[in-house]
């Protein structure tokens, strides 16, 4: 049993050395990056021209505060590639808002487009569902399908 444990420690240490060796890119003072990149696509039901899109990585579903935000201009396209660099490991919500109104912060409003990863029709997932592991990249494919936010009743 003890020999087996040492074996696993040796394997872990060897992997650690490999990760350090592949980290590269920074100065000697920079820590080895352990955070992940998150790549995906924000899908819209229709092409919209020039409104701002924002994708949030968040502990909850309120975009007033967030862990990370990626944003840009829609430029008349129904599939918008987004990316995040350097996201701390954790399990999060990830959602996209296309700001058809003038406001650029806070919750989506009627006539904006809103979508959450893992659900359709702008429904919030029951729990955070984006797992960001440490020290590796999530390949593209985190697809968020946005839908029109209906007018308030």
**Residues in contact with Ca ion by the rule CB under 5 A:** 58, 60, 62, 65-66
Give whichever of 59 and 121 is closer to Ca ion, judged by the CB atom. Answer: 59
18 three-state secondary structure: helix
Beta bridge partners of 63: none
- Burial of 84: CB neighbours in 10 Å, binned 0-12, 13-18, 19+: buried
For Ca ion, the closer of residues 16 and 88 by Cβ is 88
CB of 55 vs Ca ion, minimal distance in Å: 13
Closest contact distance (angstroms) between CB of 18 and Ca ion is 36
Which strand (E) or helix (H) includes residue 152?
Answer: none
Instruction: Give the residue carrying structure tokens 């201009």.
Output: 73
Residue 62 or 143 with smaller CB distance to Ca ion: 62
Q: How far is the CB of 65 from Ca ion (least distance, A)?
A: 4
User: What minimum distance in Å lies between the beta carbon of 98 and Ca ion?
Assistant: 18
- Nearest residue (CB) to Ca ion, 7 versus 106: 106
- The conformational region for residue 50 under phi > 0 = left, psi -120 to 50 = alpha, else beta, is left
């Amino acid at each position: 049993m003890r020999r087996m444990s040492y074996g696993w420690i040796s394997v872990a240490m060897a992997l650690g050395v490999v990760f350090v060796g592949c980290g590269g890119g920074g100065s000697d003072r920079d820590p080895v990056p352990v955070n992940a990149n998150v790549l995906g696509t924000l899908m819209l039901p229709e092409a919209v021209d020039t409104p701002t899109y924002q994708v949030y990585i968040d502990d909850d579903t309120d975009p007033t505060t967030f862990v990370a935000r990626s944003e840009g201009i829609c430029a008349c396209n129904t599939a918008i590639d987004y990316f995040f660099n350097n996201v701390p490991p954790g399990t999060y919500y990830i959602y996209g808002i296309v700001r058809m109104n003038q406001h650029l912060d806070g919750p989506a409003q009627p006539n904006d487009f809103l979508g959450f990863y893992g659900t359709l029709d702008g429904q919030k997932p029951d729990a955070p569902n984006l797992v960001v592991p440490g020290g590796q990249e999530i390949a593209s494919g985190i697809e968020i399908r946005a839908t029109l936010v209906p007018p308030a009743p």
